[in-house]
Structure 1
Amino acid sequence: MDDDHWDDLREQCRGIESGAELVTPLSERPFRIDAADDDRIVVRFGDSDETRPLWRDQFGVFDDQLEGQAMAVDELQPGVEPYAAVLTLSSAYTVDDDTISKAPADATGGESPFLVPAVEARTPPERIHDDALLLAHLIDRLEVDEPSAVDGLATDSLTDYYVLASDVQRGADGIRQEARDELLERLGPDQELHGHFGTVRRTTRERRRPKADETVLAALDERGIPREWVLGVDPSKLDVVLSVTDLSEDEVYDTTEDVYVQKTGVDEDEKYARLQGLVTRLEELEDADGESLRAEIEDIEARLEEALTAT
């Protein structure tokens, strides 16, 4: 690989948006660029925190293989995948029809399909953190201090309030389930675990569902229990009858309406842009304000620790 192409590739690596990541073409392992040095590009894999140098000489070998021919993505070896993903950042290469090749002079290269923007590369915990931060800021800005306060909100603000609350609830439920599964591995019978913010214990609930129809009916027959006592109308079978006969729906169904608000879209790009602005503002806090905030948090933690110790 000549100096111009190597310098261009390193420049593209250094210009990647903060928080963005690449994925290997076949195994789809996420990784980020740690450094772009004179003789190597260092990457870090997100699924293992492993760092790996990608050597300039090896990029040269890959470049030679592309001379005059395309390479199918599905033929890449595991060790070559990171090289291929990084190489497609350069304007000298292009990916088309699942093949990698040198870009023609009139083609637009460098639009790598293996580059994931920062807004999409966030992990579920990072997303819930960001959504919660945006919701907290919105609550503070709109002064939503009690349920009745939403009456005075403008429609667009009320919509944002609902969407963010919905996203926080969905994200929190996802990470709650992950934490629950791990806690079940650590909790013994009748054991409680204590944290700074609360206590958990293992709880068992019984959930019943009928056995196969044949098993249930046979058990009833053995004891002389009339089958009619447990037989009912099957809605799925009733729908079939409605579709093939002249029986009307209102003859067999009582219909009620349940009106609710459905979230039909989320503008992640707008949320991320607002978040970046908010993060910048927080980072620009004067030392006194920052110290005051940290002191307040430390005081809350100390009081929680004291309360837990006292119990």
Structure 2
Amino acid sequence: MGSDDTWMTLRRQCEALEPRAELVTPVSDRPFGIERTADDRVVVRFGDSGERRPLWREQFVVFFEQLADGSVPLSTLPPGVEPYASVATLTGSYTADDDEIRYDPEEATAGESPFLVPAVAARSTPERVHDDALLFARQLERLDADDPSALDTDSATDLYVLASDVQHGSNRVRRSIRDALLERLGPDQQLHGRYGTVRRTTRERRQPKDEETIFDVLDERGIPREWVTGVDRDKLDVVLAVTDLEESEVYDVDEDVYVQKTAVDEDEKYSRLQGIADRIDELEGAEREELRAELDEIEDRLEDALSAG
């Protein structure tokens, strides 16, 4: 395939990427998105810095010439060349593994790349929380969660999974925001927001020193070591594993039955979100604006609930 054909294929595949999909650089693992293409360039934006950078057609030609007779080790790619390598693998002529990028039309598939991250996986944690909360709110609007026993099994399962995802995702966001707030909070200081107030709180977690240090201190004060020694659970479990001792003889066992989330279909959730957005976009006039206002209201209520948790 000639360089002109390769360039046109590269442009088509860049333009065909789903919105919000990302590529990552092969060595430094920096995420970037395709903003637009032109006759002489592909413009990308890096997600970690917001930097916009043009990838020039003439530089792609030079890179393709390097690969014409073989392969290029990924470890030798300069940082400025890494995004060229990632984008090149979309063409269907070049492929890559952990060690090298090479010209290999038989193995490569146009539009696919080992450096391509689909939109559903490229979302940031706050974006995932937003999407999960929106789906969760949609389920709550549609179902009678006040009477869980009346829900069909599929609906109850979906509601549980979404509630779990919102909880875990919002906790991750809360922890990251907590770290930022701690840098701004002094001792005995409070910060007031629109929805509530926070303050710095200190909790102590005690961890015993090593046995030798503890025993030396006890011996110095004439305290019998037997006062602080007891059953070591780890050693007890070893004894259970290698002898005929029964667990019930040395443990009181309480059984706790609960529901465990074992899988999440992120593609299905993302498809459902896209469906909601598409249906709203198809509407016109007052009905469309009314639905958008309703979604905004749901988001505000969720923001209130999450900030209060």
Q: TM-score normalized by structure 1?
A: 0.88
Unaligned stretches of 5+ in structure 1?
302-311
The SS at the match of 2:209 is: coil
Which residue does 2:232 correspond to in 1?
234
Aligned equivalent of 2:173: 175
Q: Structure 1 pair 34/286, CA: closer, same or farther in 2 (3 Å)?
A: same
- Matched residue type, 2:51: E
1:75 Cα deviation (Å)?
2.2
d(CA) in 2 for partners of 1:100, 1:25 = 9
Change (3 A) 1:179 1:285: farther
Indicate the larger mover: 26-35 or 250-259.
Answer: 250-259
The corresponding residue for 2:192 is 194
Q: Displacement of 1:135 after TM fit?
A: 0.6
Name the CA distance, whole Å, in 2 between partners of 1:297 and 1:216.
Answer: 59
1:69–1:297 CA distance, 2 compared to 1 (3 A): closer
Distance, in Å, in 2 between the alignment partners of 1:179 and 1:8 is 43
Q: What does 1:16-165 correspond to in 2, within 5 Å?
A: 16-95=17-96, 98-104=99-105, 106-110=106-110, 111-144=112-145, 146=146, 149-165=147-163
Provide, for residues 133-185 of structure 1, a one-character-per-residue CA deviation record: whole Å limited to 9, x for no partner.
111101111132x3xx1110001111111111111111111111001111000
**Cα RMSD (Å) of the superposition?**
2.3
2:214 to 204, 213, 216: 216
Instruction: Please tell me whether the aligned partners of residues 103 and 109 of structure 1 are also in contact (alpha carbons under 8 angstroms).
Output: no
User: Match for residue 245 of structure 1?
Assistant: 243
3-state SS of 1:12 partner: helix
How many aligned positions are there?
A: 296
Matches within 5 A, 1:282-297: 282-284=280-282, 286-289=284-287, 294=293
Deviations 1:22-58 (A, max 9, x none): 0011111000111100111111000000011111111
Instruction: For 1:78 and 1:32, locate their aligned partners in 2 and report how far apart those are by CA, in whole Å.
Output: 16
CA contact (8 A) 1:71 1:100 kept: yes
State the partner residue of 1:307: none
| Contact 2:86 2:113 (8 Å CA) reproduced | yes
Residues 1:54 and 1:297: Cα distance change in structure 2 (over 3 Å): closer
- Partner of 1:42, secondary structure, is strand
TM-score, normalisation: structure 2:
0.88
SS at match of 2:191: strand
What SS is found at the alignment partner of 1:54?
strand
Deviations 1:163-222 (A, max 9, x none): 111111111111110011110000011111111111100111222232222333333333
CA distance in 2, matches of 1:165, 1:97: 38
CA contact (8 A) 1:72 1:100 kept: yes
CA distance 1:31–1:188, change in 2 (3 Å): same
CA distance in 1, matches of 2:295, 2:47: 34
Amino acid at match of 2:272: R
* Structure 2 residue 256 is matched with structure 1 residue 255: no
- Looking at structure 2, the residues matched to 113 and 187 of structure 1 have their Cα atoms a distance apart, in angstroms, of 44
Query: 1 CA distance for matches of 2:151 and 2:295?
Result: 30
Change (3 A) 1:247 1:27: same
In structure 2, the partner of 1:308 is: none
Q: Distance in 2 between matches of 1:70 and 1:227?
A: 67
Q: Residues 225 and 107 from structure 1, CA distance in 2 versus in 1: closer, same or farther, beyond 3 angstroms?
A: closer
Decide whether aligned partners of structure 1 residues 183 and 53 sit closer, same or farther in structure 2, where only a CA change above 3 A counts: same
Aligned-partner residue type, residue 64 of structure 1: E
Moved more, 65-74 or 35-44: 65-74
8 Å contact from structure 2 (residues 23, 86) kept in 1: yes
SS at match of 2:183: helix
Cα deviation, 1:73-98, whole Å, max 9, x if unaligned, reads 22222111111111111123233574
Alignment partner of 1:120: what SS? helix
> How far, CA to CA, are the matches of 2:183 and 2:97 in structure 1?
47
Give the distance between the partners of 1:125 and 1:296, measured in 2 at CA.
Answer: 17
**Residues 1:97 and 1:200: Cα distance change in structure 2 (over 3 Å):** closer
| Residues 188, 200 of structure 2: 8 Å contact kept | yes
Q: Distance in 2 between matches of 1:296 and 1:4?
A: 45
Question: Are the counterparts in 2 of residues 45 and 51 from structure 1 also a CA contact under 8 Å?
Answer: yes
Q: Structure 1 CA distance, aligned partners of 2:190 and 2:3? A: 64
Distance of 1:280 and 1:158 partners within structure 2: 26
Matched residues, percent identical? 61
**Partner SS, residue 13 of structure 2:** helix
User: What secondary structure does 2:238 align onto?
Assistant: helix
Alignment-mate amino acid for residue 47 of structure 2: G
Q: What is the distance in 2 between the residues matched to 1:72 and 1:209?
A: 48
